[in-house]
């Protein structure tokens, strides 16, 4: 029922009236409990708004990037993802974003990016908070100019996580020369984008990410970190609502205890956080959407902490991409850069226990033949199994989350690039060579083969 309503919602504008409860019951032919269960599922996905009263009913919604990125960032935070993994995932995405932005020609977006660059240059020396704020604005305009909704979504996830653990402010305060050097690097990178030089923009983006990673590795080694080695930071003066503050309190309480811990009944939590029932329920809705909270009703009911499920987060990200009409080229632009990093990490993993799933997936890939029934679909299924094994071997949670989201949405799209027996054979051969390189622990060869596969896909997409 939820899937049927979901398809209906995707086909109508944001805020469209779907009907009253009575009308939907009659039209869909289900019981009231079934409809309400489906509605709760869609409300959690922010696809539906149910209003009560004489003028109430069911209304379509569109989840925004903020809700999707918050859920994904919550999953990564709850999984205690090391900052090093986050940086490893952001590097290939930022390089691709720089290349795409330099190749873009939209005059309005280029003007907005140029204005953001001017504001960044004008940030007062020594005012590190303003510098970081304008740096984020510059990056936001860069992603808008790049025009790839998949890359934009995943980098926003990383930046949201970074704002929870933002280390750069303290680093710049401790090392003012780094702030001055960072400004110079960003201005050079932005200049390459505005000059329309994709190769130079990609090179400078790579240098920027490598420089900041080296700085942060040095700084974090010498500086104390808080819980489990993660930074907790909110920009000074940031304005947050009472519901957001209560949601932060719930999140901290949940993540400081084992999954399944009882936080307390609603009345007790109202007193603990000093908020009204309405505000607490708003905060609880945020925590529920992030997969962090379960509310139990009844005499012994209350709030129970939980951990986000990766499949639910993947579904939310795939839905966001669908609603923003991400194309097959958009998906490949994001997945190719991430997959190359995953292959390199997988080849560097020496754990023999984790290589067995990849060996099984390789055998399934080798069994695909153009003479099989529907070879393109068989190949895609084997491809998904092989990539899942590579992601597990790579051991990078952000990359795993992002690539799984791309594959989840990509499975719903027509895949013309693998039509034809010759393409099936060429793709199979390329993936088998890649698997061999990973199993031989040759990270350099794995990266080269991934690049060759990228060229093959680009040629087929054209």
CATH fold of 327-461 reads 1.20.120
Ranges of each domain in the chain: 2-60, 66-223, 242-305, 327-461
199's CB contacts (< 8 A; 6+ apart) are 99
CB 401 within 8 A of CB 72: yes
What span, in angstroms and rounded, lies between the C-alpha atoms of 337 and 453? 11
Note the CATH architecture for domain 66-223.
Answer: Up-down Bundle (1.20)
What single-letter DSSP state applies at residue 389?
H
- The pTM for the full model equals 0.80
pLDDT tens-place values along the chain, 462 residues long: 888 888 888 888 888 999 999 999 999 899 999 999 898 888 877 788 888 877 789 999 877 777 788 888 888 888 888 878 888 899 999 999 999 999 999 999 999 999 999 999 999 999 998 999 999 899 999 999 999 999 999 998 888 776 655 578 888 988 999 999 999 999 999 999 999 999 999 999 999 999 988 888 787 676 554 444 343 444 445 567 888 889 888 988 898 899 899 999 999 999 999 999 999 988 998 888 788 899 888 778 899 999 888 888 898 898 889 888 898 889 988 988 898 899 999 999 878 888 999 999 999 999 988 877 778 788 888 988 999 999 999 999 999 999 999 988 888 887 776 677 788 888 899 999 999 999 999 999 998 898 888 788 878 877
What span, in angstroms and rounded, lies between the C-alpha atoms of 42 and 49? 8
Identical fold for domains 242-305 and 327-461, yes or no, is no
CATH fold of 242-305 reads Arc Repressor Mutant, subunit A (1.10.10)
CB 399 within 8 A of CB 351: no
Q: Taking the domain 2-60, which CATH number applies?
A: 1.10.10
CA 182 to chain centre: 25
């Amino acid at each position: 029922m939820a899937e049927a309503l979901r398809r209906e919602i995707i086909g109508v504008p944001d805020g469209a009236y779907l009907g009253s409860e009575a009308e939907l019951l009659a039209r869909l032919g289900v019981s009231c409990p079934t409809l309400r269960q489906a509605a709760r599922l869609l409300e959690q996905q922010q696809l539906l708004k149910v209003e009560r009263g004489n003028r109430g009913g069911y209304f379509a919604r569109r989840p925004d990037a903020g809700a999707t990125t918050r859920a994904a960032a919550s999953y990564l935070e709850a999984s205690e993802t090391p900052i090093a993994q986050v940086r490893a995932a952001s590097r290939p995405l930022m390089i691709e974003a720089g290349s795409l932005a330099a190749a873009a020609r939209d005059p309005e977006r280029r003007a907005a990016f140029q204005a953001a660059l001017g504001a960044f240059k004008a940030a007062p020396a020594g005012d590190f908070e303003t510098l970081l704020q304008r740096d984020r604005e510059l990056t936001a305009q860069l992603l808008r100019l790049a025009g790839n909704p998949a890359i934009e979504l995943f980098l926003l996830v990383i930046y949201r996580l970074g704002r929870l653990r933002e280390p750069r402010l303290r680093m710049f305060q401790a090392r003012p020369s780094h702030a001055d050097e960072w400004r110079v690097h960003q201005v050079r990178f932005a200049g390459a984008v505005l000059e329309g030089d994709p190769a130079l923009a990609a090179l400078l983006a790579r240098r920027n990410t490598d420089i900041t990673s080296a700085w942060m590795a040095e700084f974090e080694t010498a500086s104390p970190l808080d819980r489990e080695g993660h930074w907790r930071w909110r920009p000074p003066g940031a304005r947050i609502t009472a519901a957001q503050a209560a949601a932060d309190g719930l999140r901290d309480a949940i993540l400081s205890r084992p999954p399944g811990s009882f936080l307390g009944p609603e009345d007790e939590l109202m007193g603990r956080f000093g908020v009204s029932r309405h505000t607490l329920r708003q905060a609880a809705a945020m925590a529920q959407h992030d997969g962090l909270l379960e509310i139990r009703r009844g005499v012994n009911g209350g709030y129970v902490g939980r951990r986000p499920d990766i499949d639910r987060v993947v579904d939310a990200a795939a839905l966001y991409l669908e609603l923003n009409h991400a194309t097959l080229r958009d998906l490949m632009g994001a997945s190719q850069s991430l997959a190359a990093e995953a292959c390199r990490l997988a080849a560097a993993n020496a754990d023999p226990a984790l290589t067995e799933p990849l060996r099984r997936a390789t055998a399934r890939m080798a069994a695909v033949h153009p003479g099989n029934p529907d070879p393109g679909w068989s190949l895609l299924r084997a491809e998904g199994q092989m990539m899942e094994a590579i992601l597990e071997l790579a051991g990078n949670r952000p990359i795993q989350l992002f690539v799984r989201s791309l594959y989840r949405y990509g499975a719903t799209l027509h895949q013309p690039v693998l039509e034809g027996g010759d393409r099936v054979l060429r793709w199979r051969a390329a993936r088998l060579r890649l698997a061999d390189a990973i199993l031989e622990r040759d990270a350099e060869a794995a990266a080269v083969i991934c690049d060759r596969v990228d060229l093959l896909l680009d040629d087929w997409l054209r």
